[in-house]
Amino acid sequence: MIIDLFSRYVVGGMVAAKECKHLAARLFAEAAARHGIEPGLIVHADRGAAMKSDTLAQLLAALGVDQSFSRPHFCDDNPFSESQFKTLKYQVDYPGFLATLLHARGWLESFFGWHNDEHHHS
């Protein structure tokens, strides 16, 4: 998920069977195209392999986007993301177990709509 820190909106999301640098780059490329980002933005991410990959770094550099990373073993370096996941997991209709990719994509599409359009962000 990509969360805009100002609005707390989910501006990009993807559910995949695996995490990889090419899917991460595709997620950011699609979000950039959809929202018409301008140079000067900063992407703050965990230190996962896909987020630290050269593939994603080259894409973000081409878009004029800087990268920032959480410190190793400090989950509170990204409180906005952690808060959003808590909101997701405590949602009344959260299924607890997403049996298939199709099930996960369907539920998350509904959740993102609610999260962005109805949920009051603080």
**What are residue 66's phi and psi, to 5 degrees?**
-90, 160
CA dihedral 47, 96, 14, 35 (to 10 degrees): -100
Give the sign of the dihedral formed by CA 40, CA 118, CA 105, CA 80.
positive
Query: Considering its fold, how many domains does the chain have in total?
Result: 1
Write out the residue range of the structural domain in which residue 65 sits. 2-117
Residue 20 falls within a domain, yes or no? yes
Model pLDDT for residues 89-110, shown as the tens digit of each residue? 998 889 988 899 999 999 999 9
Residue 92 falls within a domain, yes or no? yes
Cα three-residue angle 37-35-59, rounded to 5 degrees: 50
Stretch 66-70: mean pLDDT: 92
Residue 122 falls within a domain, yes or no? no
**In terms of pTM, does the model score above 0.75?**
yes
